[in-house]
Structure 1
Amino acid sequence: MEVSTNVLQGITAANNNENVPDDCFPALVTSACQGILNQSPHIDPRLRKLDQDVLKETLASFALFISEAAKHDTDVQSLMSLLEECNFSKDRIKTFVSVFCKNKPFLQTLLANTHESLPHVLGVKWRLDYYIKSNHLEKTHQPVYLLSLVTEIPGESELQELNFSCTLEQLQMLVGKLRDASKCVERFAQL
């Protein structure tokens, strides 16, 4: 699991006893989990005495950290070692792991049901038509490609088709854009 430096800074700010006292830390972690799960619209009264800027930063950082940990199904040992690297005390690590493990199944269920994945293209069907004339012009003599992309949306069992038509120039532009996208993905995969 990779965490950005901004998230690590926010988590480290929560480790400072002046920013987040020991009695407020469990409420902070619980509020971050509840914020993701949308269970509790109110903030724990113990957190109201904290500096509001620090509270916003730490809540946001913990929410991102918790959601990434749930998304990647991070094990307890990895979480503990990451928090140890941020110099958390054993009590705070134990508190965090306890709250996280209690909420992890709910977080993973929420993440599994929340997806904004684009459809995956599984295949292409195409046909070439040649229009001789149209309603508006007597003679057109223009080839038109009819394309059908067979797609699969993650989480759905049925395949879907996306149908569209294009001219030869539009088809060449589409193929060029797909090649460019493929090269970008290859370069990104090599990083």
Structure 2
Amino acid sequence: MNLSEDVLKGVEALSDEKNISDNAFKNIVDCCFKVILKQKTESDLFEDKSAISGIDIIVLKQTYSAFIAFILELMKVNSDQATISDLLEDHKLSNNRIQFILNYFKEYRVAIRKALSITNFHFPHIIDINWRLDYFLKSNSLEKLNTPVYIVSLTTEQEEDQKGKVEFACTLDQLQDLVFKLRDAQKQIERSSIKS
């Protein structure tokens, strides 16, 4: 998990029951989950003046943004309830507040994971490759062509075990160039892993 110190401080701020009342806490948690799912906007957090009265606006915004990042990171790695509970407990949240947050994670887990899968920037993972060699002897305009063409078919895994297919045709030179670039990328990865 990749949680920054600012995010963890923001989550820990939710444990301060003197500065953040139960009503304000529930309002923040509800708003964060619903903003991620586009059911609310950030301005909805500030509409209920009675819930946020007495809270410094800067602390409120920092806590709000930290908790959004916290939710997204936990859902990105698909953390289970026990992991989330332990993490919240480590940051001094009371059992009542932990249970309240866990109920939201339980209720919105599937919807948030689905939203994350739609908005990710990851390319599909290649899980299989097939190829074949076609040989064109002649075409409509030329008598003799004698050109080999490679048909490459990549099977990819996208979100939630869905499979996709990418197909392309290339000449021998293009295929050799692709293989060369893949080998070069592999060497770069090996060099990077040795350094770290």
Correspondence 1:62-101 to 2 at 5 A: 62-71=67-76, 72-75=78-81, 77-88=82-93, 90=94, 93-101=95-103
CA separation of 1:86 and 1:124: change in aligned 2, threshold 3 A: same
Partner amino acid, structure 2, of 1:177:
K
Cα distance change, pair 29–159 in 1 and its aligned pair in 2 (3 A): closer
Per the TM alignment, residue 94 of structure 1 is displaced from its structure 2 partner at its CA by 2.0
| Alignment CA distance shift 1:110-1:84 (3 Å) | closer
- In structure 2, the gaps of 5 or more residues are none
Q: Which residue of 1 aligns with 2:131?
A: 125
Structure 1: how far apart are the matches of 2:115 and 2:28? 25
Structure 1: unaligned runs, 5 residues or longer? none
The number of residues matched between the two structures is 184
1:79 and 1:97 in contact (8 A); partners too: no
**Structure 1 Cα separation of the partners of residues 190 and 62 of structure 2:** 33
Aligned pairs for 1:20-169 (under 5 A) are: 20-41=20-41, 42-43=44-45, 44-45=47-48, 46-47=51-52, 50-71=55-76, 72-75=78-81, 77-88=82-93, 90=94, 93-112=95-114, 114-115=116-117, 116=120, 117-121=122-126, 122-127=128-133, 129=135, 145-154=149-158, 155=160, 159-166=164-171, 168=173
| Corresponding residue SS for 1:24 | helix
User: CA–CA distance in 1 between the matches of 2:53 and 2:171?
Assistant: 60
The alignment-based identity, stated in percent, is 23
Q: Normalized against structure 1, the TM-score is what?
A: 0.69
Q: CA deviation at 1:5?
A: 2.5
TM-score (norm 2): 0.67
